[in-house]
Structure 1
Amino acid sequence: MGKVKFTKTELKKQQDALKQFKRFLPTLQLKKQQLQMEVRQSTDMLDANLASQRELVERMGGFLELFGSEAEVGELEQKVRVKSVRTGTANIAGIPIPTFESVEFEEIPWDIFDTDWFVDDAIRAMRDAVSLKEAYKVLEEQHRLLSAELRTTSQRVNLFEKVKIPECRENIRRIRIMLGDLDTSAVARSKIAKRKAEEAAAS
């Protein structure tokens, strides 16, 4: 707690600060609640993405068993090349976060008459796997940014609730007591001075 001046000016300053803190606190509390909800949703989305990846890996296992050798699997992987990853930006609780849109793959032609029937399905599955992994990277960044903002907002809420508002209230209480004591002393001195003046006039 900083040094407080026991003056009416300081009293008004502390009262104004208290009003300001109490006015901002509900906004911060609302933002904290919103961020808590967003962080929970972000965690759910990460879990859902991982679940989808696991399901896809199981499905791809069936396709890969159809290939005769690792070399053939390697050739398949060469047909799945990322050209670009498209992302956007969204605003959540006042902070910009990245959003995943899509993955664009290079168009690599192959002879459909010279490839097995399951290659198309295998390539689609591999592209889906790549898209899920790229989406997961963006979801991780979303979660990191939202969690960091939640920590900062929670710290501000705690600062207002547990430090600034109680500090202002205590300062106001102390200043009022001191000003009250000063007023009492001033009245007492005034009465004494008046009595002495009356005694001097009577003698």
Structure 2
Amino acid sequence: MAKLALNKSALSKEKQRKVSYGRYLPSLEMKQKQLLLERKKAEEALALCRSEISSVEASIYQQLPMLAVENIQMDGLVVVESFNLEEENLLGTKVPYLESIVFKRAEYGYLARPHWFDELALVLEKVMKLKMQEQVLNIRLARLKVAVRTITQRVNLFSKVLIPEAESNIKKIGLFLADQERAGVVRSKLAKQKQHAG
């Protein structure tokens, strides 16, 4: 780090630094609050999605107890044909969301499969969509956590390092200049006394 110059020019620069840091800090703190709010929303959305997955899975076994029969072939009954992930910009952080999902059902004869397969296919689609949403919400939350950590580091840099450092430098320079001014006054008084004495 460069040695601090103890002059009026350096004092002026330090005061300007402090003012500019003071201007940036409130906007950083506001962004931090907004990102914390978005992270909380993402956590709540993820918890809600997981709760919904659990309740749908629990209700499947109540509504369709026949799923316990092991000789029924359900492989490929419902598959994801396509899905569309989009990204949105939340306070400078790109986060994904599930725009759409298209399922494909296996073709099966109505006489060859049990009558409840249609209902099962609907429930499977719902569970698969929820599980995809859960994965997307996990990514969204992870990105928001990184953004919160980054903005918190910036807020701390300004509030705990840069601003206090500028204040400390202003104080050091101010004290030095005040001491120099006092010393100058004392020297001039001594010089006047010598002139009057001599």
TM-score by length of 2: 0.90
Q: Which amino acid aligns with 1:60?
A: I
Match of 1:87 in 2: 85
SS of residue in 1 equivalent to 2:102: strand
Matched, 1:13 2:29: no
Deviation at 1:187, TM superposition (A): 3.0
**Poorly superposed stretches of 4+, deviation over 4 Å:** 194-200
Match of 2:163 in 1: 165
More moved, 190-199 vs 101-110: 190-199
Provide the C-alpha distance between the structure 2 equivalents of 1:167 and 1:159, rounded to a whole number of angstroms. 10
SS of residue in 1 equivalent to 2:89: strand
Q: Which amino acid aligns with 1:86?
A: N
Match of 1:189 in 2: 187
> Could you give the per-residue CA deviations for residues 9-32 of structure 1, whole angstroms, max 9, x where no partner exists?
111111111011110110111011
Q: Which amino acid aligns with 2:160?
A: K
Superposition pairs of residues 10-159 of structure 1, within 5 angstroms: 10-62=10-62, 64-67=64-67, 69-72=69-72, 75-159=73-157
Provide the C-alpha distance between the structure 1 equivalents of 2:154 and 2:62, rounded to a whole number of angstroms. 52
Deviation at 1:3, TM superposition (A): 3.2
Provide the C-alpha distance between the structure 2 equivalents of 1:190 and 1:180, rounded to a whole number of angstroms. 15
SS of residue in 1 equivalent to 2:94: strand
Share of identical aligned residues, percent? 28
When residues 70 and 64 of structure 1 are mapped into structure 2, their CA distance, relative to the original with a 3 A threshold, is farther
SS of residue in 1 equivalent to 2:124: helix
Deviation at 1:105, TM superposition (A): 1.8
Deviation at 1:174, TM superposition (A): 1.0
More moved, 109-118 vs 81-90: 109-118
TM-score by length of 1: 0.88
Provide the C-alpha distance between the structure 1 equivalents of 2:181 and 2:68, rounded to a whole number of angstroms. 99
Deviation at 1:127, TM superposition (A): 1.0
Provide the C-alpha distance between the structure 2 equivalents of 1:60 and 1:86, rounded to a whole number of angstroms. 27
- Quick check: 1:38–1:146 contact (8 Å CA) kept in 2? yes
Q: Which amino acid aligns with 1:17?
A: R
- Quick check: 1:63–1:118 contact (8 Å CA) kept in 2? no
> Could you give the per-residue CA deviations for residues 22-76 of structure 1, whole angstroms, max 9, x where no partner exists?
101101110111111111111111110011101111122135522573241xx32
RMSD across aligned C-alpha pairs, in angstroms?
Answer: 2.1
Which runs of 5 or more structure 2 residues have no equivalent in the other structure? none
Q: Which amino acid aligns with 1:173?
A: K
Provide the C-alpha distance between the structure 2 equivalents of 1:143 and 1:117, rounded to a whole number of angstroms. 41
